[in-house]
Structure 1
Amino acid sequence: MEMDVKSLAIGIDTVWVLLCAALVFFMEAGFAFLEAGFIRAKNSLNIVMKVFMDCTAGMLSYFAIGFALMYGLDKAGFFGTSGFFLKGDFSHLGLDIPVYAYWIFQAAFAVAVASIVSGAVAERMKFAPYIIYTAVVCAIIYPIAGHWIWSSDGWLYQLGMMDFAGSTAVHAVGGWSALAAVLVLGPRLGKYNSDGSVNVLPAHNMHLAALGAFILWFGWFGFNPGSALSGLDGNIARIAVTTNLAAAAGGTMGTLFTMFRYGKPDPSMAINGALAGLVAITAGTAFVSPVSAVIIGGIAGVLVVLAVPFFDRLKADDPVGAIAVHGVCGSFGTLAVGIFAEEGGLLYGGGLQLLGVQALGLLAVSIWAFSMSYLVFYLIKKTVGIRVSADEEMEGLDMVEHGIPAYGGQNVNSLSTPDFGGTSPSGQKIAI
């Protein structure tokens, strides 16, 4: 009877993890729609193809190398050394579910990191070099950071860093990798003027972007509760609640803050505000109260509105706000654990110890992700080349890279020449 009960528990947990893995993988559709909607029509098919390559080339590289570096037998707390191609003994993980179920859940996280970067490099990066990067980030950059935080032998895990579902391991890695990418790649044509002013290159389909955001929000119910790895864990309901409240608070504050600052609610900031709340709560979703989740999400919703123009001042051209959403708010969410965690948080009598560990872990992972991504993009730039020509950028990557437009009957030429004829809510010129 005892074995029967145990087998039933394993079965329930396995089904739970597989279901959550499917939800997390479905977030790739959210990334594709969000990013396609936020950029111009002439490049929208190309960005969908880049996200698709995250799910293909990225998935294969994580299978061959990434999972082993992340969860193989530990070497000095820095990386794994066994389990390449998902072969060998994984008993050291102490899993209560089959390793295959664990792998597919983790693989969905890996490709999400790559998809964060895809939005930031939209509209001017060549397709083939992007495949190289997505393979590298899923094989090496993300897995080694993940080993530090989530492997029981990882050096940050041993220090006591708390990152339940990946504000640091997934989102800060993706966000700061995206910053490195855009600095090497350079801004889109027409984005910045010689006097330093910024032109808005407008989204071609905000309905599509909103649909992508809703899919991402939906998928987060697999991303965060699924990280408990058990359908029998009573905390998964609380995790779902804190996840949802943070998203709601982020979207609310993104809307209200743009109304206060610009006089009109900015739909793009309402969308990114909700995503910012989701990113920020991901580290502490299992450790904070619902009220704290609202506070964390609300702060993130304001931070993303402030961060987008900040990076524009640095001429770090990010068409979808990935750096602000994932880099800035993932970093904030990591630190928020040290403040709001009910066990060990600063506001709950825990002092500064946890906050210090969180800050150290965030700094180490951010430096790793930024420096390695910068190196990879720089090497690609100096070898095979990374950016399309000016003429190709004007024509649009859909036709240049794939030979077909995203929409039947699309007039490519009409979308190619900048026409500064409007303004955004913030008073910036709009380039079509």
Structure 2
Amino acid sequence: MSESSSPVQGVVQVLTQSSDTLFLLLGAIMVFLMHAGFAFLEVGTVRRKNQVNALVKILADFGVSALAYFFIGYWVAYGGHFFSSAETLSQGNGYELVKFFFLMTFAAAIPAIVSGGIAERARFYPILIATFLTVGLVYPFFEGIVWNGNFGIQAWFENSFGAGFHDFAGSVVVHGVGGWIALIAVIFLGMRKGRVRAGKHTNFAPSNIPFLALGAWILCVGWFGFNVMSAQSLDGISGLVALNSLMAMVGGIVVALIAGKNDPGFIHNGPLAGLVAICAGSDLMHPIGALITGGFAGGLFVYLFTYLQNNTTIDDVLGVWPLHGICGAWGGVAAGIFGQTALGGLGGVSLTVQFLGTVLGITVAVIGAVFVYGLLHKLTGLRLSEEDEFLGADLAIHKISSINED
């Protein structure tokens, strides 16, 4: 019986591996598509003279991110490398290779997040150097702690508090880290020229609401690959993750609609705020908990972005620190609240650990960003000249406008 079943077991194993590989590949493609969402969200928000730069920057960042993660970041996070034969690398239907692709698209989200905050006044090549350093070193350092158990921190959490830091799809690991890195970059760059007139803050209107909306829609669709396919295998897929992602997105929409007083920019960023917040606990929460988590995130984004734009010198063009940094941190903590069985969650999570892990992620991001952007600020400068900023990044950097006037 065992001899006859052995070939059957082999076939089943091959089919399972192939199915998991295909599943994760589709997830990687969906997250890759999200970078188009980042691009169009930025294109629609910046002034017309900076639209080409937004598109080029996102794609160039992706290419640099892939190299940084391939040669350095993946090794820092997981101890893996690609310096072996193609035959060895492709064993098991190449599942590990597709897993790298999937994780790399997460890593590449870091500079895509930062890009929206520093838009309209950043120099091109110094920012690409910052991308290489943050994706190669800063982000994977924290990623490895949370998702690979590096440095024994997760083990310490479990021994001390009975649970590790839970971040299923990256509220803190990806969005929180990206948002806090962006805050430091924005502070180093300073405000755009013309934002303060006669002692009062002036907000530049988005150049193209349809492009902004298109970017938000692409991100929303891709996010279901970001969250659901973080299971990384078919047997781990959860309808709960999908429903929780949906409910958090809806909560973000409705609250941003009310708090934002029908402003299309807020309405299209509301669902993104909800989706950022639900990443960490999407596999644990009850859908009502997810709805509350997303709704609170939508309100957080509207009020904090409005306050920053009207009352501070923090000129965060797309509001990426409120959206990713603050809502990501809220998501990490919310997993420890609504993941509890007393509130309908699945349990196995500690609020204390969620708070400590979130603070750790913020600390790593801030220290890493201060080093990277501070070093580049001293060595090369980060900001366009006043003349180039007035001319616009499209003509100053790329020598072409987004619209042919002929």
**Corresponding position of 1:76:** none
2-structure distance, mates of 1:87, 1:366:
35
Q: Quick one: which amino acid aligns to residue 77 of structure 2?
A: M
* Equivalent of residue 407 in structure 1, options 398, 403, 406: 403
Q: How far did 1:234 drift?
A: 4.5
TM normalised by structure 1 equals 0.85
| Long gaps (5+) in structure 1 | 73-82, 260-264, 411-432
Partner SS state of residue 188, structure 1: coil
1-structure distance, mates of 2:94, 2:299:
40
* Equivalent of residue 98 in structure 2, options 91, 96, 101: 101
**Corresponding position of 1:46:** 53
**Corresponding position of 1:422:** none
Partner SS state of residue 224, structure 1: helix
* Equivalent of residue 220 in structure 1, options 219, 223, 243: 223
Contact 2:18 2:93 in 1 (8 A): no
Q: Quick one: which amino acid aligns to residue 396 of structure 1?
A: G
Partner SS state of residue 28, structure 1: helix
Identify the range of structure 1 (305-314 vs 366-375) with the bigger mean alpha-carbon deviation.
Answer: 305-314
**Corresponding position of 1:251:** 253
Contact 2:223 2:275 in 1 (8 A): yes
**Corresponding position of 1:63:** 70
Q: How far did 1:85 drift?
A: 4.3
Query: Are 2:119 and 1:122 aligned?
Result: yes
**Corresponding position of 1:168:** 172
Q: How far did 1:185 drift?
A: 0.6
Contact 2:173 2:361 in 1 (8 A): yes
Q: How far did 1:139 drift?
A: 0.3
Contact 1:289 1:342 in 2 (8 A): no
Contact 1:69 1:147 in 2 (8 A): yes
Q: Quick one: which amino acid aligns to residue 355 of structure 2?
A: A
* Equivalent of residue 324 in structure 1, options 308, 322, 325: 322
**Corresponding position of 1:210:** 213
- Matched length: 386
* Equivalent of residue 284 in structure 1, options 258, 281, 286: 281
Query: Are 2:348 and 1:341 aligned?
Result: no
Contact 1:288 1:337 in 2 (8 A): yes
| Long gaps (5+) in structure 2 | 1-7, 158-163
User: CA-to-partner distance for each residue in 1:366-411, whole Å, 9 max, x for gaps?
Assistant: 011112112211111111111111111111000000000011118x
Q: How far did 1:102 drift?
A: 0.8
Q: How far did 1:315 drift?
A: 1.2
* Equivalent of residue 191 in structure 2, options 187, 204, 208: 187
Contact 2:376 2:382 in 1 (8 A): yes
Partner SS state of residue 196, structure 2: coil
Q: How far did 1:121 drift?
A: 0.5
Query: Are 2:284 and 1:301 aligned?
Result: no
Distance 1:372 1:194, change over 3 A: farther
Contact 1:156 1:361 in 2 (8 A): no
**Corresponding position of 2:28:** 21
Q: How far did 1:346 drift?
A: 7.2
Query: Are 2:1 and 1:5 aligned?
Result: no
Q: Quick one: which amino acid aligns to residue 180 of structure 2?
A: W
* Equivalent of residue 141 in structure 1, options 138, 142, 150: 138
Contact 1:346 1:355 in 2 (8 A): no
Q: How far did 1:16 drift?
A: 0.3
CA RMSD in angstroms, aligned pairs only: 2.1
Q: How far did 1:113 drift?
A: 1.1
Partner SS state of residue 406, structure 1: coil
1-structure distance, mates of 2:324, 2:205:
21
Contact 1:9 1:232 in 2 (8 A): no
Q: Quick one: which amino acid aligns to residue 212 of structure 2?
A: A
Distance 1:364 1:399, change over 3 A: same
User: CA-to-partner distance for each residue in 1:290-332, whole Å, 9 max, x for gaps?
Assistant: 1111111111110001110333333110111111100010000
Distance 1:86 1:20, change over 3 A: farther
Distance 1:244 1:156, change over 3 A: farther
Q: How far did 1:41 drift?
A: 0.5
User: CA-to-partner distance for each residue in 1:7-60, whole Å, 9 max, x for gaps?
Assistant: 111111110000000000010100000011011010011011110112111111
Distance 1:12 1:365, change over 3 A: same
Q: How far did 1:202 drift?
A: 1.1
Moved over 4 A (4+): 85-88, 345-351
Distance 1:241 1:347, change over 3 A: closer
2-structure distance, mates of 1:392, 1:112:
27
Contact 1:13 1:97 in 2 (8 A): no
Partner SS state of residue 200, structure 1: coil
Distance 1:292 1:346, change over 3 A: closer
Contact 2:126 2:376 in 1 (8 A): yes
Q: How far did 1:347 drift?
A: 7.3
TM normalised by structure 2 equals 0.91
**Corresponding position of 1:384:** 380
Contact 2:52 2:394 in 1 (8 A): yes
2-structure distance, mates of 1:211, 1:342:
36
Report which of the two has the higher share of helix: 2
Distance 1:218 1:192, change over 3 A: same
